[in-house]
């Protein structure tokens, strides 16, 4: 399973990077790195492209011995007291220049603890727009619902709800974005079936996002709309640094800092006591972020 998962996520990384490079005016910078303690990865990043202010697509394969704190942050699989571990996966985030093109995040991972008898899959994808377009929200969620329904019709409602609950900024009382799916400690119906489910979700990423990107990319925007995007990116930073379990796991396992913090936008904004004008499109988005909706 380790070999199968590594092969799959590397393929997905290649496919996503190729699709983005077809729409950008540059190529991803690639860094091959090794982790002190075991393993390494392949990080690919574009900064200041024509489409994306910053986009990164990371592959990693790491192993070694966990600290008790890192074991706590790892997620599922607590049925093993053995602190040795193996983890591999893909993690991506894309921050566009245009405020009408949403930020998007996805990751798909496989974990083992101990001798490998304790294993599980995790991952998901979520959309973080600065401006709400219902057709985009419906398309994104429907794409992942179709991938989930192929395996079990209970997966999407369960993992959509988990996504809404996970990407929640408690100190702001609002969600980071408009959700998608999020799953962890996934083992059903068996190891092969769980792998196929994770693979289908990973393969759903490009069909979920590219149509939205292409639909919004040519939209004109104002300085005020760009400023709102920067404020929303500030919220993105707050979630990733305060709450995100993947960030904590990477920092607690001597991960590569540049790869761990790749998810942060190149620029953000924190404006004191900012409140959107009542009835504005900005206020419309914030209303949805404070009360998640079912889109499909």
Q: What is the pLDDT of residues 36-94, one digit of tens each?
A: 889 999 999 999 999 999 999 999 999 998 877 777 766 655 555 788 999 999 999 99
- 217/269 Cα distance (integer angstroms): 22
Give the pLDDT of residue 79.
Answer: 56
Residue 153 reports pLDDT greater than 60: yes
**pLDDT higher at 76 or 202:** 202
Read off the pTM: 0.95
Q: Do 181 and 156 form a contact (C-beta atoms < 8 A)?
A: yes
The H or E element containing residue 56 is strand 52-65
CA angle, residues 171, 126, 133, in degrees to nearest 5: 95
CA 20, CA 60: separation in Å to the nearest integer?
20
The CATH class of 2-290 is alpha beta
Annotated active-site residue 139? The verdict is no
> What span, in angstroms and rounded, lies between the C-alpha atoms of 245 and 247?
5
pLDDT number for residue 80 = 58
Q: Residue 133: pLDDT above 70?
A: yes
pLDDT at 255: 79
Average pLDDT of span 175-179 = 98
Pairwise CA distance, residues 59 & 45, whole Å: 12
* pLDDT, tens digit (0-9, with 9 covering 90-100), for 235-269: 999 999 999 998 988 888 777 899 999 999 999 99
3-class SS at 95?
A: strand
What single DSSP character describes residue 67?
-
pLDDT number for residue 68: 77
Evaluate if residue 178 carries a pLDDT over 90.
Answer: yes
d(CA 236, CA 203): 25
Is residue 16 pLDDT above 60, yes or no? Answer: yes
CA angle 122, 248, 48 (to 5 degrees): 85
**For residues 3-23, average pLDDT:** 98
Residues with Cβ within 8 Å of 226's Cβ and at least 6 positions away in sequence, in order, are 99
| C-alpha distances out from residue 145 to 98, 160, 180, Å | 27, 9, 9
pLDDT given at position 46: 97
Across 184-196, average pLDDT:
98
CA–CA separation, 155 vs 177, rounded Å?
20
Catalytic residue among 95, 105, 139, 186: 105
Question: For 93-108, how does the pLDDT look when each residue is reduced to its tens digit (9 = 90+)?
Answer: 999 999 999 999 999 9
Closest CA to 201 of 103, 92, 123, 88: 123
Task: Give the pLDDT of residue 281.
Answer: 98
Q: Which of 33-37, 67-71, 125-129 has the lowest mean pLDDT?
A: 67-71
Tokens of 210: 């590219």
Boundaries of every domain in the chain: 2-290
What mean pLDDT is reported for the chain?
Answer: 95
Taking CA atoms, 207 is separated from 105, 175, 243, in Å, by: 14, 24, 28
Residue 37's pLDDT is: 87
């Amino acid at each position: 399973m380790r070999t199968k998962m590594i092969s799959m996520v590397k393929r997905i990384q290649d496919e996503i990077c190729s699709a983005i490079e077809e729409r950008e005016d540059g190529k991803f910078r690639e860094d091959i790195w090794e982790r002190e303690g075991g393993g390494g990865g392949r990080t690919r990043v574009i900064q200041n492209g024509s489409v994306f202010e910053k986009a990164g697509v990371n592959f990693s394969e790491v192993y070694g011995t966990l600290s008790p704190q890192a074991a706590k942050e790892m997620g599922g699989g607590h049925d093993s007291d053995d602190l040795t571990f193996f983890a591999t996966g893909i993690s991506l985030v894309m921050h566009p220049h245009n405020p009408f093109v949403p930020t998007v995040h996805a990751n798909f991972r496989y974990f083992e603890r101990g001798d490998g008898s304790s294993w599980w899959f995790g991952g998901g994808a979520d959309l973080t727009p600065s401006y709400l377009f219902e057709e985009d929200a419906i398309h994104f969620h429907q794409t992942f619902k179709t991938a989930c329904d192929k395996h079990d019709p209970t997966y999407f409602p369960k993992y959509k709800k988990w996504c809404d609950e996970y990407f929640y900024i408690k100190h702001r009382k609002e969600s980071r974005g408009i959700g998608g799916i999020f799953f962890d400690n996934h083992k059903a119906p068996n190891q092969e079936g769980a792998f196929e489910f994770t693979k289908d979700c990973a393969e759903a990423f490009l069909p979920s996002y590219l149509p939205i990107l292409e639909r919004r990319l040519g939209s004109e925007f104002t300085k005020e709309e760009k400023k709102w995007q920067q404020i929303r990116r500030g919220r993105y930073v707050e979630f990733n640094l305060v709450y995100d379990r993947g960030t904590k796991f990477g920092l607690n396992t001597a991960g590569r800092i540049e790869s761990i913090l790749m998810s942060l936008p190149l620029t953000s904004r924190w404006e004191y006591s900012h409140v959107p004008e009542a009835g504005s499109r900005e206020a419309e988005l914030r209303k949805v972020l404070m009360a998640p909706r079912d889109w499909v």
